[in-house]
Amino acid sequence: MGYRNHVFTILVTMVLTPLITGDEASSSLVIAPHCTSKCGNVTIPYPFGIEEGCYYDDPDNLKDYPIMKLMCDSGSNPPKLILGDNVPVSNISLKEGEIGINLNMSFNCYSQGESTGSHSTWANLITFTISSTKNMLVATGCDTYAWFTGFRHGEQYYTGCMTKCDSLNSVTDNQCNGVGCCEASIPDGVTNITTTVASFDNHTDVPFNPCSVAFPVATDAFTFLRKNLTQKLGFYSDFPLLPVVFNWGIGRQSCLKAQQQGTCLCKNNTICSGLEPDQDGYRCECKDGFTGNPYLPQGCQDIDECKGANECEKPEYCTNIDGGYNCECPKGYHGNGTRTDGCISSSKAWLKPVIITAGIGASIIIFLVIGFLLHWRNGERRIKQLRETFFRQNGGLILHQKLSRMDALKIFTAQDLENATDKYNETNIIGRGGYGIVYKGIIANNQQVAIKRSLKVDPGQVEQFINEILVLSQINNRNVVRLLGCCLETEVPLLVYEFINNGTLYDHLNDEAKVPLFTWNIRLRIASEVAEVLAYLHTTISTPIIHRDMKSMNILLDECYTAKVADFGASRLVPVDQGQLATMVLGTLGYLDPEYMQTSELTEKSDVYSFGVVLVEILTRKKALSYQRPEVERCLAMHFLLKMKEDRLFDIIDKNIVNSQGDIAQIKKVANLAKWCLFLKGEDRPTMKEVAMELEGIKRMNKHPWHDVKSSYDQANDCEYLLVGIPKDDEGNSGGKDSDLYNPPSFIPSLGGGR
């Protein structure tokens, strides 16, 4: 069966599967007789409803319309149930707290390099979150990359995947393995989802595959077939909607708060339970032995177990009670009256309890003795063996051999770091990223440290992992977060860094309260320090390092606003005889080098591009990628280059830093430098050493000869001295003229017109 028919068959199955069969069962789920209980083949249980008074209207709802109000399109055949902005509903589950909806797919089609049509999928169900266990993100094509965006914890979330192939012969049916088809998992708590798909080369290199396609879909409703890679625009534009599962709950309050305020819908014979940590609201369910709709005012009704299957020895022994039943022996008999422990005559009743009691007592004593001995003999030994296994698996023996020849870093025990973080208490979490979780800790000498629980190390790359730890531990640069040590006794390695206490560059650029103190001089100094670090990593140390995830969130600031480059989780060492590496594309959207994304060949110029984006962030105080901005402004780097081309630079520059003519001159030169870093081809970009030299020259533009002298300031006033800012001449404009924007220094290529 083809992909199209296969998915359509499953979709119809989901749509035609009602929650409860029978009109009588359906009517028992609504709150009032006038409420519609079904639309087509879909049952509508309260708190969902169509008519006024038939659905739950959350008093804390900030939207213009009730979240759980539905519509029934009776003009469709069969009638179609609609939620919100014309989103079709296939089923509603009270027990699971799930709602099935149908979405179309995103596609981007070409013919001979020219676009023939495209579409992006989105679904905003407000407080409903897409199920992380019942769905997956899929992209198909031989020249395709897709990304999935939404909101999680109030912030934008991104994930995605890419797939390339040279011919259909390399693609296998039913295998979505990255060749012709790729998958990405979806985290809990994501709302307001959008799926976008694009092509690397407009499908010019793969004419047999005209379309890139992506979509979220229920995990059991998708089968990949390679023949569908040859389908054209019409196939996808007419394709039936795909099923997707969302989670729902009641309101935005917890069970306890709703019960205290008397607004909780969970009434008689029900249990109120909270949702996942990433989702607001609560859910009701019937207690064991009760059935019905737990959201209705009358609550759940008792089940008469005696009318159905039960464990009683005979039907007449069964007595129904609220929430359960009892099996009782008739007069003259003793026992439990169950199939496994039936009724016996009273004349023999004394023997059975004696035998049972003696057997249970002896079994308990034997079990306790054996359990104590096993725990005493094997408990500590097993823990020790497990830690030794992890130590060897994570390369501890190799690291010990190399440390015996150098004083590189300290190896901590698992107990050391458990004590430092109060057993990894969640209150000590100071950061989460794509490569691990970071905890704040205090080690034995009362030194504050940052402890990173990294991703699991591939056993086949242990030696490379150890070599990178040793290289990073020997980096001697005041503007790099220092690696103090590691622990290899746990399943995943733990890395111990120095603790930096003043947040990140991203925090300071995006916090309105911090902006007045975050002057142009401070920003320029931070940019210069980061450029020096990257130049140091690329050219100074014996084994060059490519950072690969340079962004404002990985630039920490201390109390003196000194930059500290962090997070080398994605970094790669560059062999001295190899100028580029073929790697899996890693990094952050908005900062990724387009050439690296297309070729998967990592070079030092990839860091230059990412640093160029950071320079633009410093100049504009805008996020590198934001779906809150208009489409033409969504990608900051592209928007910045467009403004430069239009000679409208100051339309985008942060007004907080335009304080004098001298600042304007520096800003223009930094903008030129950023533009150079953002050239499409890596060979046209500067090296980081050239970038660092140019920034140092820009810093000196407004300095008086006496500026470097700190007069009577002592060491205690260093931070205050740095925050005063760089003094300017009497007119405040000694940094240059407006024409400097298109007159870069001699070693920067011309930026007008051009490439």
The model's confidence at residue 647, banded by pLDDT at 50, 70 and 90, is: very high
Exposure b/e, 573-584, CB count within 10 A at least 16 = b: bbeeeeebbeee
Q: Which of 16-30, 314-328, 449-463 has the lowest mean pLDDT?
A: 16-30
Q: How confident is the model over 624-635, as pLDDT tens digits?
A: 999 899 988 999
The residue-averaged pLDDT of 16-37 equals: 62
Q: State what percent of residues in the chain have pLDDT above 90.
A: 42
Using a 10 angstrom Cβ sphere, with 0-12 exposed, 13-18 middle and 19 or more buried, the burial of residue 70 is buried
Distances (CA, A) of 105 to 121, 223, 423: 6, 15, 45
How far out from the chain centre does Cα 600 lie? Answer: 23
Fill in the amino acid letter for 206: V
pLDDT at 16: 32
pLDDT at 438 over 50: yes
| Domain 396-498, CATH number (from 3.30.200.20, 3.40.50.620, 3.40.640.10, 3.60.15.10) | 3.30.200.20
pLDDT, averaged across the chain: 81
Close Cβ partners of 334 (under 8 Å, ≥ 6 residues apart): 343, 344, 345, 346, 349
The model's confidence at residue 4, banded by pLDDT at 50, 70 and 90, is: very low
The model's confidence at residue 587, banded by pLDDT at 50, 70 and 90, is: confident
pLDDT at 366: 86
Close Cβ partners of 101 (under 8 Å, ≥ 6 residues apart): 83, 87, 88, 89, 90, 123, 125, 243, 244, 246
pLDDT at 265: 92
pLDDT at 380: 60
pLDDT at 19 over 50: no
Q: Classify residue 604 by its DSSP letter.
A: H
- pTM for this structure? 0.46
Q: How confident is the model over 60-73, as pLDDT tens digits?
A: 776 767 889 999 99
Distances (CA, A) of 370 to 182, 382, 720: 51, 17, 68
Q: Classify residue 352 by its DSSP letter.
A: H
pLDDT at 25 over 90: no
The residue-averaged pLDDT of 399-428 equals: 78
pLDDT at 569: 57
Please tell me the distance from the alpha carbon of residue 281 to that of residue 254, in angstroms, as a whole number.
Answer: 6
Going from N- to C-terminal start, the domains of the chain cover: 20-93, 103-239, 255-303, 307-348, 396-498, 505-742
- What CATH architecture is 505-742? Orthogonal Bundle (1.10)
Of 137, 200, 140, 139, the closest CA to residue 168 belongs to: 140
Q: How confident is the model over 661-704, as pLDDT tens digits?
A: 668 999 999 999 999 999 999 999 999 999 999 999 999 886 64
Q: Which of 160-164, 184-188, 207-211, 387-391 has the lowest mean pLDDT?
A: 387-391
pLDDT at 161 over 60: yes
pLDDT at 183: 93
pLDDT at 618 over 60: yes
The model's confidence at residue 381, banded by pLDDT at 50, 70 and 90, is: low
Please tell me the distance from the alpha carbon of residue 299 to that of residue 648, in angstroms, as a whole number.
Answer: 65
Strands (E), 574-696: 581-582, 601-602
Q: How confident is the model over 296-332, as pLDDT tens digits?
A: 998 899 999 998 889 898 888 899 998 899 998 888 8
Q: Please, what is the angle between helix 604-620 and helix 636-645, to 10°?
A: 70
pLDDT at 171 over 90: yes
The model's confidence at residue 27, banded by pLDDT at 50, 70 and 90, is: very low
Partners of 216 in the beta sheet?
Answer: 137
Report the 10 Å Cβ neighbour count for 608. Answer: 25
pLDDT at 572: 59
Q: Which of 381-395, 423-437, 706-720 has the lowest mean pLDDT?
A: 706-720
Instruction: Please give the full DSSP string across 694-713, using - where no structure is assigned.
Output: HHHHHHGGG--TTTT--TT-
pLDDT at 273: 87
Q: How confident is the model over 47-63, as pLDDT tens digits?
A: 999 999 899 988 777 67
- Active-site residue, 511 included: no
Q: pLDDT: is 569 or 537 the higher one? A: 537
Question: What three-state secondary structure class fits 688?
Answer: helix
Q: State what percent of residues in the chain have pLDDT above 70.
A: 77
pLDDT at 373 over 70: yes
Close Cβ partners of 753 (under 8 Å, ≥ 6 residues apart): none
The model's confidence at residue 261, banded by pLDDT at 50, 70 and 90, is: confident
pLDDT at 402: 60
The catalytically annotated residue of 58, 416, 549, 654 is 549
The model's confidence at residue 653, banded by pLDDT at 50, 70 and 90, is: very high
pLDDT at 347: 59
The model's confidence at residue 238, banded by pLDDT at 50, 70 and 90, is: confident
pLDDT at 585: 61
pLDDT at 26: 44
The residue-averaged pLDDT of 436-464 equals: 77
pLDDT at 335: 82
Give the phi and the psi of residue 352 in degrees, each rounded to 5: -65, -45
Q: How confident is the model over 552-564, as pLDDT tens digits?
A: 999 999 999 999 9
pLDDT at 748: 38
The model's confidence at residue 460, banded by pLDDT at 50, 70 and 90, is: low
Q: How confident is the model over 481-500, as pLDDT tens digits?
A: 888 888 877 777 788 888 99
Please tell me the distance from the alpha carbon of residue 475 to that of residue 477, in angstroms, as a whole number.
Answer: 6
The full 3-state SS of 521-584, as one line of letters, equals HHHHHHHHHHHHHHHHHHHHCCCCEECCCCCHHHEEECCCCCEEECCCCCCEECCCCCCCEECC
The model's confidence at residue 408, banded by pLDDT at 50, 70 and 90, is: low
Q: 72 near 55, Cβ under 8 Å?
A: no
The model's confidence at residue 377, banded by pLDDT at 50, 70 and 90, is: low
